[in-house]
Structure 1
Amino acid sequence: MAENRASADGPAHGSGYGSAYGEGVPCWVDAQLPDVEAGKRFYGELFGWTFEEQRYGGAVWALKEGRPVAALAHKTDGRMPTVWTVYFATPDIEGLADRIWAAGGQVVTAPMPVGDLGTSALVTDPDGAVFGLWEPEAHPGFGVRREPGTFVWAELYARDTEAANTFYGGLFHDALFGPEAQPDFGRAPVADVFPAEMPPHFLVHFGVEDCDAVLGTVSRLGGRVQAPPFETSYGKAAVVTDNQGASFAVLERTERPER
């Protein structure tokens, strides 16, 4: 599902943006796009992002009020899907990749350094849903999250949510179920929102102030609405695609979900 992405994965430049993320906490997102310039125009207008070129592999970091929130990278292999990927923090990426393999997942891209920023990998769960791992060095991840125009949630759409709970609970128990947990990651059946034949996948959610209103902007910019607004335990969400076909959700947050 993904090519060698070591040059584009991982958090942004320099330390001093936010604090470290514990193992199993979503800490970064990126999009692999055929046309990064078109992506900058779309997301810049939609979320108010500005952009900064990076020294690794031609990726650009998206900034919200000067703080890193995401990366856009050029998709070099046209056979690969245009997607948003969520990365989970870990202090031991090699050890976590081994645990994922032992629990029935797959390692798609082996752990690989990203300059002095850290080390990234792409993996799947036993159901085939792809996600990333990030072991930080110079930067831990998001400079800001849980605000409009930034990452607020990742939902795993799975065929078997009980099996997903077992797998991710075994990997990331403290982040999901620990006494101090404030998870930004949930699980739901694929058929709740998508056709039953849709493969299991993670859906990245970005915060918005008005879910209904933002859909007009998505359409005006060349995107489309996949699923109109619906209520969830964590707010009102809608699923959209950008002008190049990458799916994501917009979320008008209400209350934090019950653990």
Structure 2
Amino acid sequence: MELEAANVALGWYRGKLSKVETGQLATKPRECDEMLRIYGVSGHEAEQLRSLAADGRRSAAPERVTDSARQYVALERDSTEIRMVYHEIPGIFQTVEYARAQLMRSPVIPGAQVAGMAAARRERGERLRGSGTKVYAVLGFEALHRETGGREVLADQLRRLAGFAELPNISIRLIPWSAGAAAGLGGPFTLLWIEPANARIAYTETLTGADYLKTTDTYSLAFEQASDLALDEEASQDELKRRIIELE
């Protein structure tokens, strides 16, 4: 069924179904049931979709994030596996001080919102402790050297990162300077595996928005390339500890 035909069949205003399909708008229980009826979905599959719709209605509170990242927070929370390639410390690993220093430089985030957003990033990281979510992060060496917030703030941030690396569900590996270029470092991204939908999504951010991509083959290849270039976990931990000592 074409998008416009489905929209008319549902009796919704023009463009509403498109917003639902792209995750910008959640459906009410009655609306979800009507969609299932029109699309002819029943049984176990219908129950799975009702469950997903309920997840979509959940508020992202207490997180405070930009509008473009609001959907990401919900997907991150529901993910069973997260893979990422970054040239800086990802938000989920950040300390409040590091996050605040980074967010203060944003041209689109009001200063009044910085403190709440910084605290929310730390809280998201705390959820990883003892969770079943597997996280595989590959970071460029530059993440250890850019003194966001100053040397002391960076040192505290790297100590937190080292603590995460010791958790059984988290792998943090570093791409050394000698490895040269890596595609993922030029365009940081996160790959999310979401259950029970058995979906894989690639998430990328820009200064003013974000993209959620269902075609993830290119990003999977970029992650594999970054992993091949990175040091193993033990060597990465050694480099991390060495950098912390340099900053002390």
Query: Smaller-chain TM-score range?
Result: 0.3 to 0.5
Give the number of the structure whose residues are more often helix, by fraction. 2
What is the TM-score of this pair, normalised by structure 2?
0.36
Give the number of the structure whose residues are more often strand, by fraction. 1
What is the TM-score of this pair, normalised by structure 1?
0.35
Q: Which has the larger radius of gyration?
A: 2
